[in-house]
Amino acid sequence: MSSIEEETRPLLGVGEGTKQKKSTPLPKLQIAILMLLQLSEPITSHCIFPFINQLISELDITGGDAKKVGYYAGLIESIFFATEALFVFQWSRLSDHIGRKPVLLIGIGGCCLSMICFGLSKTFITLVLSRSLVGMLNGNTGVMKSMMGELTDSTNIAQGFAWIPVSWSVGVTIGPTIGGQLAKPHDRWPNVFTHPFWIEYPYFLPCAAAALFSAFCFVITVLFLKETVKKRRPSSESGLTVPGEDEGPPPLRSVLTRPVVLSIANYGVLALVEIAFLVLMPLFLSTPIALGGLGLKPPTIGAILGTLGIADGILQALFFARLIDAWGPKRVFQLGLSMFAPLYALYPLMNLYARVHGITWVVWMMVGVQQLLLVIMDMSFGAIFLFITSSVPDSRLLGATNGVAQVVAAVVRAIGPAASTSLFATSLERNWLGGYGVYAILIPFSVILSIVSTLLPREMWPKPGEERERAD
């Protein structure tokens, strides 16, 4: 079997349930570059979290009402996913034709340009346009998962996909740290950042740092990343195009098989409840205690989010593949989904305690418990990626399938932040359950949505015809 053929086998043979083979060594350099690209995504998206609420309050669009910050912060966080939903499928589908590498370069270039524009924005509309730009140009998430499927086989795909949440977690560590520590440099280091520019654009430095990292990733990708999509090539004897995968992709309607639809539906559920929770975190941490939060400053918020990323990355690297081998992807996925109810419940518990006793070690202990539950929850992403990859009926449809998955995820992630933060703000304004009504809605909502996970198979999807072969 050629190396190219070996790279494409996992798309049809993941989770076969047959006798285990010796694990194939991962192509370390290529996966390292892929994870470097993956790293840029959370750095770009999460570096704004520690200061976004403060930035919104300084734009004077809330009329001085701190309760309304959540509406506008949620819109900023949603707009990226809304524009991504319009374009991500086209990017993923295009990568099946022209290759993964060109699409990845366009996406990483979009991240760089968007962050520069965001840091220079002085109005709410320019913030919205900056986030729209990166959503429009960025199809990298689906394309990177397609490349991971092409770089691995059935013996090492769990190990390969285990690195995706690890890389994301490292980015989630770096991004908020950059945003929390580098925001308003003139106020923190007045003797160093003396130019009036840093007063006029107090949030440019963290955005520029994120953009610089994206530029670095762009250069590394150009120089060292190898293309994984095979091109048409003529037969050496006849000059005719070799049939098979090089003939072009099958009809798009062939993507929507039952395994694909069920896998993507579960991914959509996970993406929705996860983003609804995560956007509440910086809002809750920054909101004054009297209004339902903890009243923390951006550096502290950045440290909390950064610590979460470190813990997540370490535990994912150590335990994800082992849990998949021991429990199977379905149980790992369902375990992650079950974490959302206690995760949401900890928000009002922390605020109730802080109202009476202030920010003491008990509050920090609850913050730590919440972070541990988040790490367990995050393993469900690696599990559902395995289901999506193994559900693909034809290797030529891998990019299209991941594109559909990312469209669904982008749509729900566009809805989630605005809905979640608006519920938070509305609960405060209308005093629903003392301001805690948002959690009374989101907890049962997450439990009900998790029912769709029962439709997944215990192991990954078999390739076409395999079930019949086993029966024989």
92-96, 103-107, 313-317, 425-429: segment of lowest average pLDDT = 313-317
Q: What is the DSSP letter of 416?
A: H
Contact 311, 372 (CB under 8 A): yes
pLDDT exceeds cutoff 50 at 1? no
pLDDT of amino acid 246: 47
CA distance 92 to 99: 10
Residues 195-234: tens digit of each pLDDT: 999 999 999 999 999 999 999 999 999 999 999 887 655 4
Give the CA distances from residue 115 to residues 44, 105, 128, 131, 133, in Å, rounded to whole numbers and listed in that order.
Answer: 7, 16, 12, 8, 10
SS3 content of the chain, % helix, strand, coil (to 5): 75, 0, 20
Residue 65 lies in a domain: yes
Exposed (0-12), middle (13-18) or buried (19+): which is 238, by Cβ within 10 Å?
exposed
- List the CATH number of the domain containing 306: 1.20.1250.20
Full DSSP string of 303-345: HHHHHHHHHHHHHHHHHHHHHHHHH-HHHHHHHHHTTHHHHHH
Q: What is the pLDDT of residues 264-302, one digit of tens each?
A: 999 999 999 998 898 888 889 988 999 889 999 878 887
Does residue 472 lie in a domain region? Answer: no
Lowest mean pLDDT among 78-82, 121-125, 247-251, 397-401: 247-251
Question: Is 41 contained in some domain?
Answer: yes
Please tell me the total count of domains within the chain: 1
| pLDDT confidence tier of residue 115, bands split at 50, 70 and 90 | very high
Q: Give CA–CA dist 226/245, Å, rounded.
A: 19
Lowest mean pLDDT among 110-119, 171-180, 393-402: 393-402
C-alpha to C-alpha distance for 137 and 105, rounded to whole angstroms: 10
Q: Which of residues 62 and 142 earns the better pLDDT score?
A: 142
For the record, the structure tokens of 88 come out as 């991500």
Which pair of tokens denotes residue 5? Answer: 């053929």
Q: Exposed/middle/buried for 289, CB within 10 Å: 0-12, 13-18, 19+?
A: middle
Does the residue 238 lie in any domain?
Answer: no
Distances (CA, A) of 188 to 51, 53, 185, 193, 419: 14, 19, 5, 9, 34
Asked if residues 298 and 176 have their Cβ atoms less than 8 Å apart, the reply is no
Mean pLDDT of 124-142: 86
Q: CA torsion, points 123, 128, 134, 135, in degrees to nearest 10?
A: 180
Residue 247 lies in a domain: no
Output the pLDDT for position 45: 80
Tens digit of pLDDT for each residue in 407-455?
Answer: 898 888 878 877 888 888 889 888 899 889 999 999 999 999 889 999 9
| Residues 349-360 pLDDT 10s | 999 999 999 999
The radius of gyration of the chain from alpha carbons, rounded to an integer in Å, stands at 23
pLDDT at 220: 95
Query: Does residue 261 lie in a domain region?
Result: yes
Instruction: Yes or no: say if 75 and 174 are a contact pair by the CB < 8 Å rule.
Output: no
Q: Cα-flanking dihedrals φ and ψ of residue 234, to 5°?
A: -75, 150
Listed residue (261, 259, 260, 270) closest to 412, CA to CA = 270
61: in domain: yes
Range of the domain at 112: 25-229+254-467
Q: In Å, how far are 130, 219, 388, 466 from 421, measured between CA atoms?
A: 20, 37, 30, 46
Average pLDDT value for the chain: 82
Confidence of residue 236 (pLDDT cuts 50, 70, 90): very low
Is the pTM higher than 0.85?
Answer: no
> Looking at residues 139-168, what average pLDDT do you find?
82
Is residue 194 domain-resident?
yes
